[in-house]
Amino acid sequence: MGTCKLLLPWEKKTVLAHLLEQWRKLGVAQIAPVVDASNRMLKSALNDSEFSCDAWIENSFPERGMFSSLQEASRWRGWRSGLTHWIIALGDQPQIEISTLRLLLNASQQNPTRICQPVFCDVAAHPLILPKHHFFELAESYAEDLRTFVRNHEQLRLRIPVNDPSVTADLDTQEEYAHWHSSAGLPGR
């Protein structure tokens, strides 16, 4: 897309600020974004959102893809003790309804040993919720990506049907951004 998607405007703030606000409203115990270690603008935006540098995770090799960010998160030593689940949320999905996120959180509480994943029209999507044990397995996993990792644990996957097409979409192009931005009832840029 040519720009940091997390810094795009969304609801009179940035995508980043919107996502942080959503998860805070839902009462999650800890939020720890994974960021490209060289992205100074994003780090500045996190500071502006009341995140100190010890509250985010740096990925020094983002060119290795999303799975490398998950592995960095799994290795990170800053997690609070007592956490039981980790939410794997994409930074370019501000359009997901908070009711959908709440449904996933409730499903993970009711099924604490399962990997919870939303499904829309038979398409598995994001965000995923991993139990503690499986989250920490990511660090040393030889899976090539998250999809393979989840398939390797298929017997534990709980597919949660949702009535929210946005779980299968992200903001990879200007057209997708414009579509979801207007679908959310937001004014033009």
Low-confidence ranges of the chain (pLDDT < 50): 189
For the chain, domain boundaries? 9-183
Q: How far apart are CA 66 and CA 71, in angstroms?
A: 9
Within 66-121, residue ranges assigned H as helices are: 66-75, 98-110
pLDDT digits (tens, 9 = 90+) for 167-177: 999 888 888 88
pLDDT digits (tens, 9 = 90+) for 105-148: 999 999 999 999 999 999 999 999 999 999 999 999 999 999 99
- pLDDT (0 to 100) of residue 129: 98
Helices 15-25 and 98-110 pack at an angle, to 10 degrees, of 40
CATH class in words for 9-183: alpha beta
- pLDDT (0 to 100) of residue 3: 78
Please give the backbone phi and psi of residue 141, each rounded to the nearest 5 degrees, phi first. -70, 145
